[in-house]
Structure 1
Amino acid sequence: MTTTTDIDPTNRAQAQAWDGTEGDYWAAHPDRFDTALARYQPAFHAACDVGPGDRVLDVGCGTGLTTRAAARAAPDGEAVGVDLSARMIDVARSTTEALGVPNARFGRADAQVHPFVTAEFDGVISRTGAMFFGRPDAAFANLARAVRPGGRLTLLTWQPADRNEWIQVFARTLAGREMPPSAPGQPGPFSLSDPDHVRDLLTAAGFADVALDGLAEPEVYGRDAEDAHAFVLGLLGWMVADLPPAERDRRVEALRAAMAAHEGPDGVTFGSAAWLVTARRR
């Protein structure tokens, strides 16, 4: 797929983050992020229902695990992954080449405005990547145009923050407060957490038979407390970077204690809850 530089103005802040230090961290630790979501992958992949000859678009593909899974399920078709992070796209390409998945392609693009060929895909998928659009109404309308009539949409999105232990613990220890509820439509990990909002949004965009199935799985953040502490602090250290040294040290130690409290035989795990969203293009 051809890389494009067209970014919708409402997505510029997200592009700066995902094509900047945040995306670079994800690109440097692909296995860690895939491991965190691994318990969700079987149900998500099954819901994608990719056929042998399908062409699939993977939105917010990151380093390409879900794109490769779709490509393997479509040996006579193709899977195309798009993301705002050039670094993650580079990792996706190199990993895919090393693993020998020739029908998976990648490109940097803003799926909200990218000029996909009308009805060129049999399905659109996104595992925790569709919650960051500045204009979700425009984005899903653009994706609907890219899917043939009767084609599928499959998303994994987070349920509200108060059902996700991981974000509450990270916010409480590092930011010193609980994670507030997200306003529907505001870009962020919980922007598609309200089922009524999701149904209205996708129906208006051109999808039908919108269904949300609740899933709950543990997320794994490290082998042990020290491993998980280093990983999460590397990701979210910006939350404490501007604090006075004593307060910064106190919150870093609070995070360490939280990791120790969640250490078990499967590593450091936190509760999480997601929606498995499925729909059909009208």
Structure 2
Amino acid sequence: MTETNQDQAEYWGKSASGMKWLTFEEQIAASFAPVVDLLLDRAALKPGQRVLDIGCGLGDTTLAAASAVGPTGHVLGADISAPFLDRARQRASGVDNVEFVLADAQIEPFNPADRDAMISRFGMMFFSDTVAAFANIARALKSGGRMTFAAWGPLAGNPWFYIPHLAATERLGQPPKVDRNAPGPLAFHDIGRVTGLMAEAGLSGIEADAVEVELTPPGGLEGAAALCTRLGPAARVMAHFNGSDSDETAIHETVTQALEPYVKGDRVLMPATINLFQARRAGTA
């Protein structure tokens, strides 16, 4: 695999931060299950369709799509992380209508006009050239084939990000600021900017809206706080400042207190703003 997005391949395939997604596989899958449901509901996959899943990670969306298209359909999961794909293949053992490929989707020569639909849960925000990536992925679709992908909305609508970030920066300080439109989890927060890039890539029938969902981290308040502390913004701040165990404990305590308003019974339901994008490859729908 020749990578245009080499830094992303290094992060998701080799870094300690990226590998935490394997460590917390079950907790992450449970937390983001409502986003998978939202994505598949909007994609409206049909039995027999051939689907491309971009940034498939550990295979959550790939396996869900495989169930939707049934034994006469097929789902190809593409990801830039070899360890993630190893785990996805293990999970898909015995599922005959699934395949995985190690690929940088910005440049991967997917079979042209081979897929009826493309889906992605949080896998499209990391390309160095988003327009080139959209255009390349579109070539894998049949004429009129539809893309449906989910991305994080603005920071203010996602306590999953801003609560641990505030807790970590209050404890350790502010790391260097980065362009929020740069490749990363929040790169598609601006719907207007992204739909403009989709149009530039030649996509048609572009639609996008912000949808409010509730994330469902398992393990009650303690489990949710632990996950928020060990993944995402808090973990990145900790890594930047080489935080200690005592720093992690203090950040965890602050996050726990901040999540208390989201406790519903024995569950934590975290509000989230998810941007849903859809478009078609130019041609007859």
Verify same fold: TM over 0.5. Answer: yes
Q: Bigger shift: 243-252 or 146-155?
A: 243-252
Q: What residue is the counterpart of 1:126 in the other structure?
A: 120
Q: Does 1:96 align with 2:79?
A: no
Q: Does 1:188 align with 2:188?
A: no
Quickly say closer, same or farther: Cα 1:31–1:18, change in 2 above 3 A: same
Q: 1:61 aligns with which of 56, 62, 65?
A: 56
Structure 1 residue 169: deviation in Å?
0.5
Q: 1:85 aligns with which of 81, 84, 88?
A: 81
Q: Deviations over 1:211-230 (max 9, x none)?
A: 11221112123322322233
Q: Bigger shift: 227-236 or 18-27?
A: 227-236
Contact 1:23-1:87 within 8 A present in 2 as well: no
Contact 1:118-1:146 within 8 A present in 2 as well: yes
Q: Bigger shift: 217-226 or 12-21?
A: 217-226
TM-score (norm 2): 0.87
SS at match of 1:154: strand
Q: Does 1:239 align with 2:234?
A: no
Instruction: In structure 1, give the amino acid aligned to 2:41.
Output: A
Instruction: In structure 2, give the amino acid aligned to 1:237.
Output: A
SS at match of 2:72: coil
Q: Structure 1: which 5+ residue stretches go unaligned?
A: none
Contact 1:182-1:190 within 8 A present in 2 as well: no
Structure 1 residue 122: deviation in Å?
1.1
Q: Does 1:50 align with 2:61?
A: no
Instruction: In structure 2, give the amino acid aligned to 1:193.
Output: H
Q: Structure 2: which 5+ residue stretches go unaligned?
A: none
SS at match of 2:187: coil
Q: What residue is the counterpart of 1:156 in the other structure?
A: 150
**Residue correspondences, number:** 273
Instruction: In structure 2, give the amino acid aligned to 1:73.
Output: A
Instruction: In structure 2, give the amino acid aligned to 1:254.
Output: T
SS at match of 1:37: helix
Q: Deviations over 1:16-36 (max 9, x none)?
A: 111022332112322211211
- 1:1-282 alignment, distance < 5 Å: 5-8=1-4, 11-20=5-14, 21-74=16-69, 75-97=71-93, 100-176=94-170, 183-184=180-181, 186-235=182-231, 236-241=234-239, 242-243=242-243, 249-282=249-282
Structure 1 residue 257: deviation in Å?
2.4
Structure 1 residue 252: deviation in Å?
3.7
Instruction: In structure 2, give the amino acid aligned to 1:51.
Output: K
Contact 2:149-2:278 within 8 A present in 1 as well: yes
Structure 2 CA distance, aligned partners of 1:190 and 1:173?
Answer: 19
